[in-house]
Structure 1
Amino acid sequence: MTTATVSGTSGEDRSDYTREESRAIRQRSLRLLGSLVSPLRWQLVLAASVLVVSTALRVAGPALIAYGIDNALPAVIERSDWMPTIGVVGIYLLAGIGGAVLIGWYVVVAARLTQAVMLDLRKRIFLHTQRLSLEFHESYTSGRIISRQTSDLDTIRELLDGGLNELVSGVLYGLFTLIALFLIDWQSGLILTVMGIPMYLLMRWFYMRSQVIYRESRVISAQVIVKFVETMTGIRAVKAFRKEPRNDDEFGSLAASYRDVNMRSIKLFGTFEPGIMAVAAVSVAVVLLWGGGRVIAGPLEIGVLTAAVLYVRNFFSPLQEVAFFLNSYQSATAALEKVSGVLEEEPTVPDPTDPIDLWTAKGHVRFDDVTFGYSDDRVILPHFSLDIPAGQTIALVGTTGAGKSTLAKLVSRFYDPTRGAVTLDDVDLRRLHPKDLRRAIVMVTQEAYLFSGTVADNIALGKPDATMDEIRAAARAVGADGFISKLPDGYDTDVNKRGGRVSAGQRQLISFARAFLADPSVLILDEATASLDIPSERLIQDALQTLLADRTAIIIAHRLSTVAIADRVLVMEHGRIIEDDTPAALIAGTGKFAQLHAAWRESLV
């Protein structure tokens, strides 16, 4: 099993990337951003056009003021001619109102763009993570997935909503202001250009420092979320083992680290913003001093100097917005890196490119010289071969770690063999069409997970078009109809979050009904009776006798009472089968199963 070099599972929560890794991550993030924006390019062109026109109208203000002071006012004083003044005021008002209207339009267009991008990205994350193989979900904690879908997406949305608008608007405004300044007084424009050198150095220093701090901030933020989610999810274990004090210390340490990194970012920003203000003040002072001398000497008019001072002051105003953008940009960049890392993950159990259809499976399962090991290179099944004829019920018995659940996962194709093949009716599972595979093979686990919705909805999970009569028949078959009928709304009762309204044993019975309604050719029971009490287990035993008669069944159980219904028992040890016979024959012998059975009988006494 291999994973991507730069991936969500291999190192995305690090902050010590090499230069090559950082470049690869940036390219990955840019590819994702490009794929999100590409379908919206015409809306992007419209937004850019509106922004350019509105910015040009806003920049025209000081030039109109200069014209009014140097030309319109003298016309009034010397000739009592008010027309130039009225014209300047009218144009100034039209420019101001037009710029405001266009900015309002731009905000709406930009918001639509942002929401379209976020909708696409949110759906991509959900659909992709759902499509990824079980290996990814077993190594990638739920807290980190939640962080990708919530806090990381919120950070990206904040960037697109405000930060990006501020950057584009600020850069355009600064560029147009500089051009206008050169047009009315090139010397003042030259002064501003020279003062741009310390400003550039200051912004570059801020960018480099904040890049490190904000990536660290996202890493610690994800750790805080993971700790919180894991603690709340496992609250029963926390209570049972009195883990609250240790959790308090661990969470307090993470929260303190998060506070510290946020304080460092605030101090960084607190240094940057006053620096920009100082450069702006010096620039205005130099332009005013140099321009004032020229006004006294005669070559520069007072209106032009006024406009030049206004342009210099206005030039630095958007830099505050650019600083805010850099603030959100660093955080959003780190978030986008993590999101793109998840979206770059490839399923380790990919769908076949040329699938084989198997409309009606008989249930013949065979392991053909299978070798399998998880990502830590520890071999679980070495050169494993097994033939399970169609319709046969086998029970897998053995100590923990013997490979029983691994065998079940391979049959369900949650994993693929490292070498060899697992086949269903002589078709390699890697070539079988996914819909035929999921219809033919169903696994019931000890967890018995129930989704939000009614009891009937949960039973019909594997057969959404099932009628109410079919749902009730499946429930009766596994002995679940009795307690379901006594629920407040019967089959229409909402099971509440994760089945909170029913007991663990009742949840297991519902999951049995779900599997039996799906009517698979191969049914896998992985410790599926572990949550049942003795009366419920007896009901299941009776149901299994009938329901497993015409299908292949693989039963993994420590309760040897469940094993008794099997046609054949396989005793596993270290990924190998050490005993294989009928339950009666193995009990009568002196092997491992006979010892386990004797110990079980003694425990009942």
Structure 2
Amino acid sequence: MSTVTGTSGEDRSDYTRAESREIRRRSLRLLGSLVTPLRLQLVLAAIVLVISTALRVAGPALVGWGIANALPAVRAEADWMPTILVVIIFLITAVGGAALIGWYAVVAARLTQAVMLDLRKRIFLHTQRLSLEFHESYTSGRIISRQTSDLDTIRELLDGGLNELVSGLLYGGFTLVALLLLDWQSGLILAAMGIPLYFLMRWFYLRSQVVYRESRVISAKVIVKFVESMTGIRAVKAFRKEPANDREFGGLSSDYRDVNMRSIRLFGTFEPGMMALASVSLALVVFWGGFRVTSGALELGFLLSAVLYVRNFFAPMQEVAFFLNSYQSATAALEKVSGVLEESPTVPDPAKPVDLWEARGHLRFEDVTFGYSDDRTILPDFALDIPAGQTIALVGTTGAGKSTLAKLIARFYDPTRGRLTLDGVDLRQLHPKDLRRAIVMVTQEAYLFSGTVADNIALGKPDATLDEIQAAARAVGAHAFIERLPDGYATDVNKRGGRVSAGQRQLISFARAFLADPAVLILDEATASLDIPSERQIQEALGTLLADRTAIIIAHRLSTVAIADRVLVMEHGRIIEDDTPAALIAGTGKFAQLHSAWRESLV
């Protein structure tokens, strides 16, 4: 960053251009990887398109030849054979061209759908593999935008825009060649008019490039604002954010309208310019051709063919312009999608994983230093040994590093320095399947997926029987309320668990953890959303849940801490107290003060 900050405006411009080139190369690499497996279908589509275009271009030449040669034969010799022959050939080229265009449309559609299927799966699979750090910094609205509006824009390009470009350029090129062969003088006039046409299209391309990129950015902001407002609708209503949201969304919508109006004004200039060039070209060809017809240097029929070719040349150029419209938008979308796919997991899977078939749960922090991407150190030179089967309670003020410690144990993040081991194996070397089986984290959110209650409990053990699922629910005290649901364990919890209360969702998440049977269980504020009766119910179940496994409990409610074998009081990423709950309560340290304040709050 320092090298960029101190550079001149020209150097900064070069840096930006270099960055833009790299983004384009990245997008082209992605596009190449998508179409390479389909190259045989691409060759087939190209052959079909070339033949169909050649057949379509032959029409005006046949009309001109028929007028110049076939009709005079009828008048002079009453010979209808040339006319019939021309009509038959014309029909064959017309029908054949139409049939091949239809075939090409099917082949192109299959190609588009194959590319979109591959790309859609890549985005989903890759974003799932990315580490928690990415998802905590990249909003859900932006991810949804990549998977929806950006992919739709790319599909529109492949489905229609690219077809318009290829067929338009081919048709225009074939038309110019045919006109040069038929009447080289009219062909030269058309070629000369191609020069201002080139400058007009280049102007449109450069101007629209900026507009459409801005359009994609603002479109994404509109989606993000809408998704975040609807996702957090409870907070919006609780804090009366509706008026502020209305103003912000209205402003974004106005910006989106303005950028769309600028693109419309671009077309409002480009299309009349295109029509003017077409009219001037046609007038010149008719004028010069008419002069030659009167002098006998050109047949009237071939002049008609030249007029048809000139009109046909400019018609696909309009399609090329529409492609530029789609291309600008799709290029910006492809850049954003390729940017996501270029992201690498900050917590990568090991190259040579170590198997740990049966974990005991012995955790050890060895001189661990950790800080997030903002370079702020959270855990400085942290050392801790947690024997297998021990229940640890982490206590401390907000920002002390408790949740960070839990995320490191769950390997959502890796230490910046030092190492964290499970039964002597560095977590960075442990096989992912063994890691996920050995360590389970239950958070305050208690997320439930759409599906039945049984499906959600069996999340960590998909092959579990109904008896095993019910046993897990009984162990944590969830069986009774589940049985009272409309369909019991077969009740669909609806999106985000909308059919059950926050406390019931938490109980289901406890049952899920119990069924997974991990060696290490992390409870990160897992009882925060429970009411007092539910918490007492959980307290009774925690004895069963935590038995014979290592447990790390993060809780502000000190009633939960009481069941721990050992309490660690954290402050600024360091352990300042470490002892049994009873010993710390009897002392005069930080935990004793917290416990005293908690008891007073109960009174």
1:61 corresponds to 2:56? no
Residue correspondence of structure 1 range 401-480 to structure 2 within 5 A: 401-480=399-478
How much has 1:301 moved relative to structure 2? 1.1
In the alignment, the residues of structure 2 paired with residue 507 and residue 542 of structure 1 have an alpha-carbon distance, to the nearest angstrom, of 18
In the alignment, the residues of structure 2 paired with residue 316 and residue 229 of structure 1 have an alpha-carbon distance, to the nearest angstrom, of 44
1:316 corresponds to 2:314? yes
Tell me the equivalent position of 1:8: none
Aligned residue type for 2:546: L
How much has 1:66 moved relative to structure 2? 1.0
Specify the SS of the correspondent of 2:357.
Answer: coil
Tell me the equivalent position of 2:10: none
How much has 1:313 moved relative to structure 2? 1.0
In the alignment, the residues of structure 2 paired with residue 534 and residue 63 of structure 1 have an alpha-carbon distance, to the nearest angstrom, of 89
In the alignment, the residues of structure 2 paired with residue 213 and residue 24 of structure 1 have an alpha-carbon distance, to the nearest angstrom, of 21
Tell me the equivalent position of 1:189: 187
1:374 corresponds to 2:375? no
Give ranges in structure 1 of 5+ residues lacking alignment. Answer: 6-14
How much has 1:17 moved relative to structure 2? 8.7
Aligned residue type for 1:185: D
Tell me the equivalent position of 1:603: 601
Specify the SS of the correspondent of 2:348.
Answer: coil
In the alignment, the residues of structure 2 paired with residue 241 and residue 463 of structure 1 have an alpha-carbon distance, to the nearest angstrom, of 40
Aligned residue type for 1:114: T
In the alignment, the residues of structure 1 paired with residue 132 and residue 375 of structure 2 have an alpha-carbon distance, to the nearest angstrom, of 17
Tell me the equivalent position of 2:570: 572
Aligned residue type for 1:352: P
Tell me the equivalent position of 1:169: 167
In the alignment, the residues of structure 2 paired with residue 17 and residue 101 of structure 1 have an alpha-carbon distance, to the nearest angstrom, of 50
How much has 1:18 moved relative to structure 2? 1.5
1:357 corresponds to 2:355? yes
Tell me the equivalent position of 2:9: none
In the alignment, the residues of structure 2 paired with residue 89 and residue 491 of structure 1 have an alpha-carbon distance, to the nearest angstrom, of 74
How much has 1:16 moved relative to structure 2? 13
How much has 1:291 moved relative to structure 2? 1.1
Specify the SS of the correspondent of 1:371.
Answer: strand
Tell me the equivalent position of 2:300: 302
Tell me the equivalent position of 2:285: 287
Render the CA deviation track for 1:139-188: whole Å, top value 9, x for unaligned: 00000000000000000111111111111110000010001001011111
Tell me the equivalent position of 1:11: none
How much has 1:547 moved relative to structure 2? 2.6
Residue correspondence of structure 1 range 19-38 to structure 2 within 5 A: 19-38=17-36
Render the CA deviation track for 1:215-261: whole Å, top value 9, x for unaligned: 00000000000000000001111101111111000000000000000
**What TM-score, normalized to structure 1?**
0.97
Q: 2:98 aligns with which of 94, 97, 100?
A: 100
Tell me the equivalent position of 1:79: 77
Which stretch shows the higher mean deviation, 534-543 or 72-81?
Answer: 534-543
Aligned residue type for 1:263: M
Tell me the equivalent position of 1:593: 591
Render the CA deviation track for 1:41-78: whole Å, top value 9, x for unaligned: 11111111111111000000111011101100110010
Specify the SS of the correspondent of 2:187.
Answer: helix
In the alignment, the residues of structure 2 paired with residue 397 and residue 417 of structure 1 have an alpha-carbon distance, to the nearest angstrom, of 21
CA-based RMSD = 1.3
Q: 2:485 aligns with which of 484, 487, 494?
A: 487
1:128 corresponds to 2:132? no
Render the CA deviation track for 1:297-316: whole Å, top value 9, x for unaligned: 12111111111111111100
In the alignment, the residues of structure 2 paired with residue 181 and residue 578 of structure 1 have an alpha-carbon distance, to the nearest angstrom, of 89
Render the CA deviation track for 1:542-582: whole Å, top value 9, x for unaligned: 11113312000000000000000000000000000000000
Specify the SS of the correspondent of 1:18.
Answer: helix
Tell me the equivalent position of 1:218: 216
Tell me the equivalent position of 1:340: 338
Render the CA deviation track for 1:107-153: whole Å, top value 9, x for unaligned: 11111111010000000000000110000000000000000000000
In the alignment, the residues of structure 2 paired with residue 239 and residue 309 of structure 1 have an alpha-carbon distance, to the nearest angstrom, of 67
Q: 2:203 aligns with which of 205, 228, 245?
A: 205
Render the CA deviation track for 1:55-108: whole Å, top value 9, x for unaligned: 000000111011101100110010010000010011101110111111111111
Specify the SS of the correspondent of 1:370.
Answer: strand
How much has 1:533 moved relative to structure 2? 1.2
Render the CA deviation track for 1:183-230: whole Å, top value 9, x for unaligned: 011111111111100000000000001110000000000000000000
Structure 1 segments of 4+ aligned residues over 2 angstroms from their partners: none
Residue correspondence of structure 1 range 541-560 to structure 2 within 5 A: 541-560=539-558
Aligned residue type for 1:428: D
Tell me the equivalent position of 1:261: 259
In the alignment, the residues of structure 2 paired with residue 260 and residue 223 of structure 1 have an alpha-carbon distance, to the nearest angstrom, of 14
Tell me the equivalent position of 1:48: 46
Render the CA deviation track for 1:331-385: whole Å, top value 9, x for unaligned: 0110000000000100000000000000000000011000000011100000000
How much has 1:273 moved relative to structure 2? 0.8
Specify the SS of the correspondent of 2:364.
Answer: strand
How much has 1:507 moved relative to structure 2? 0.1
Aligned residue type for 1:538: R
In the alignment, the residues of structure 2 paired with residue 462 and residue 29 of structure 1 have an alpha-carbon distance, to the nearest angstrom, of 37
In the alignment, the residues of structure 2 paired with residue 466 and residue 125 of structure 1 have an alpha-carbon distance, to the nearest angstrom, of 30
Render the CA deviation track for 1:5-31: whole Å, top value 9, x for unaligned: 9xxxxxxxxx99921111011101000
Give ranges in structure 2 of 5+ residues lacking alignment. Answer: 5-12
Aligned residue type for 2:49: L
In the alignment, the residues of structure 2 paired with residue 241 and residue 503 of structure 1 have an alpha-carbon distance, to the nearest angstrom, of 21
Render the CA deviation track for 1:262-321: whole Å, top value 9, x for unaligned: 000000011111101101110111111111111111211111111111111110000111
Q: 1:163 to 1:378 in 2, by over 3 A?
A: same
How much has 1:534 moved relative to structure 2? 1.3
Q: 1:398 to 1:366 in 2, by over 3 A?
A: same
Tell me the equivalent position of 2:249: 251
Tell me the equivalent position of 1:505: 503
Specify the SS of the correspondent of 2:486.
Answer: coil
